[in-house]
Amino acid sequence: MSDLLTIEGLRAGYGAVEVLRGVDLHMAPGELVALLGSNGAGKTTLNSVVSGLVPTWAGRVVFDGQDLTGAHYRRVVQAGLIQVPEGRKVFPNLSVLENLELGAFTRARARRAENLLRVFDTFPRLRERQSQLAGTMSGGEQQMLAIGRGLMAEPKLLILDEPSLGLSPLLVEEMFALIAQLRAGGLAVLLVEQNVGQSLEIADRAYVMENGSIRFSGTSAELLASDTLRQAYLGV
């Protein structure tokens, strides 16, 4: 099976500071891959480069047969590579419905009504609160909204950047159950998380980043079976 996403030798940074130092990563269609690492490891920078938000210094990004190296973020979205950013980034002064509709602005606009029903089926609370201003919702509800907005674009690959950040333990459980449900429905998911244990429970494979480089790649079972890897990179 051909890879859905191939990242080879990716280098990038900010100003004169190199953050990504030759990152290699690949994903198959329908796969759930966890990208793990501490703060400052380069995970969010990798997401931003792949999404067309930060320039590529070297290397390449190929998605669904298209070379997206250095592509404008609009082209990345049109290709079906959708990111749900860290911190939710909802539009606080717009309603839930308006936030969701914006998710289909660049891609899947013709099927906006149909996809909206799917999102409401996945998140009944959003249906109940579709007229509410997004900024007045709880953190967990805003995370649902951010993911729902991403789903409105009919992603082929959904990047979730720290979706459990700031949520209560109960909501974290619900969030990981939702991610597993999305994967079971055939959606490829790149899960960028510091929550190691729960990420590995649902992921097919995992990558561990440290100082802008991939230090480990393999199955969740392989990672958990290595005392050295767990202690050195995961702190467990």
Low pLDDT (below 50) residues in the chain: none
Residues 6 or more apart whose Cβ sits within 8 Å of residue 77: 106, 107, 153
Write down the pLDDT at residue 223.
81
Write down the pLDDT at residue 18.
95
Write down the pLDDT at residue 231.
66
Write down the pLDDT at residue 171.
84
Write down the pLDDT at residue 229.
65
Query: What are the E-state strand segments in 64-108?
Result: 66-67, 81-84
| Domains (range + CATH), the chain | 1-80+156-236 (3.40.50.300), 87-154 (no CATH)
Residue 37 half-sphere exposure, CB side, CA atoms within 13 Å?
A: 22
Residue located via tokens 């109940």: 128
0.85 surpassed by pTM = yes
Cα gap 64→81, rounded to integer Å: 9
Type and span of the H or E element at 5? strand 5-14
Are residues 191 and 203 in contact, defined by beta-carbon separation less than 8 angstroms?
yes
